Amino acid sequence: MVENAGEGLGLKSGSVMANDHTKPACTRDELDKADYLTRQIRFKKQPVSAIMFAFEGIAYAYVNHCMHMHRPLNCEQDAIFDETGLYLRCSMHGFIFDPKTGECQSPVCFGQRLQSLRLEEIDGTLYFAEKHLTLID
């Protein structure tokens, strides 16, 4: 199942067709075996990193960019979850985010959200399903 992060809507495998121009981001199997994956994308004409992960059996994707210092979540460590495995964590200053919504739980940025990216799953392959996004790598 794929979750539209921040929207609370799940999509069943193959329920929505990906844009024909879209390259596969990864397979569901690759995502399930990894702690997380990153992909270089162009989003709204800007080159950025996307971060993808599975949480509680659902695939999520966000622009890999903490709103506090505008750094990737994994900029200091090769990890995106805190020690409990319940929250995304920026490795620079320890800001934590709800993995389902991207909402910051830390006081300085409380209520702000990571930029969610829609994913579609078709026959075990995940695709970015954003109008203003192209996969670079």
* Structure confidence by residue, pLDDT tens digits, 117-135: 999 999 999 999 988 899 9
11 pLDDT band, cuts 50/70/90, is very low
**Phi (first) and psi of residue 89, to 5 degrees:** -140, 130
pLDDT for residue 47 is more than 80: yes
Which residue is it, tokens 């964590």?
89
pLDDT for residue 13 is more than 70: no
Supply the pLDDT for residue 117. 96
Supply the pLDDT for residue 22. 60
Report all structural domains of the chain as residue ranges with CATH numbers, in order of start: 2-75+115-135 (2.20.25.680)
Average pLDDT of the segment spanning 70-79 = 89
Q: How far apart are CA 118 and CA 131, in angstroms?
A: 10
Average pLDDT of the segment spanning 113-117 = 96
Please check whether residue 17 is in contact with residue 27, taking contact to mean a CB–CB distance below 8 angstroms.
no
Name the 3-class secondary structure at 51. strand
Amino acid at 4: N
pLDDT for residue 17 is more than 70: no
Supply the pLDDT for residue 118. 95
